[in-house]
Amino acid sequence: GERGMLLRGGGLLTLAYLLVNMEPTFVFFPLAMLLSGAGFVIAHSTLQTRATELVPTLRGTAVALFAFALFLGGGLGTYLAGLAIEYAGFPLTLYGTAAALALFTLVSWPLLRVVQRQHATE
């Protein structure tokens, strides 16, 4: 279900950011990119589906807000990652990203259960 997809997607993304720092790079980097792509697609599609179902009468608004948050996060995340790389270097930044993804996944996973229960009672 949705929760499993979110857990798998977040887990794959976390693993990908950890693998990027592994040596030899030529072995682990392609695997990391494969896992990153799969994790993003799994997590993104799950979150977007949930966004379209939150308020059926305002589906367009919900999708627009989801897209806005996605692209704002992408832009802001790129800027913050650049600063982090400048001050802490690539390895620490990538480990920090992996930790943030793991935290997001572990916090979102139980919250999705609450949302599903609320939807079931409506």
Q: What is the pLDDT of residues 27-63, one digit of tens each?
A: 899 999 999 999 999 999 988 888 888 788 999 999 9
pLDDT tier for residue 76 given thresholds of 50, 70 and 90: very high
Angle, CA of 67, 14 and 40, to the nearest 5°: 30
Q: Is the pLDDT of residue 121 over 80?
A: no
pLDDT at position 82: 97
Region of 30 (left: φ > 0; alpha: ψ -120 to 50; beta: rest) is: alpha
The pTM score is 0.86
Q: What is the DSSP code (8-state) at residue 94?
A: H
19: amino acid identity, one letter: L
pLDDT tier for residue 1 given thresholds of 50, 70 and 90: confident
Q: What are the helix and strand counts (H, E) for the chain?
A: 4, 0
pLDDT at position 94: 95
- CB contact at 8 A, 9 and 39: yes
Report the share of the chain in percent with pLDDT over 90: 68
- Rounded to the nearest integer, the mean pLDDT of the chain is 92
Mean pLDDT of 77-99: 97
Reading the block at residue 41, the tokens are 């697609």
Q: Is the pLDDT of residue 120 over 80?
A: no
Nearest to 7 by CA among 114, 101, 117: 101
> How many angstroms separate the Cα of 21 from the Cα of each of 9, 36, 91, 95?
20, 14, 6, 8
Q: What is the DSSP code (8-state) at residue 21?
A: T
pLDDT tier for residue 93 given thresholds of 50, 70 and 90: very high
Q: What is the DSSP code (8-state) at residue 55?
A: -
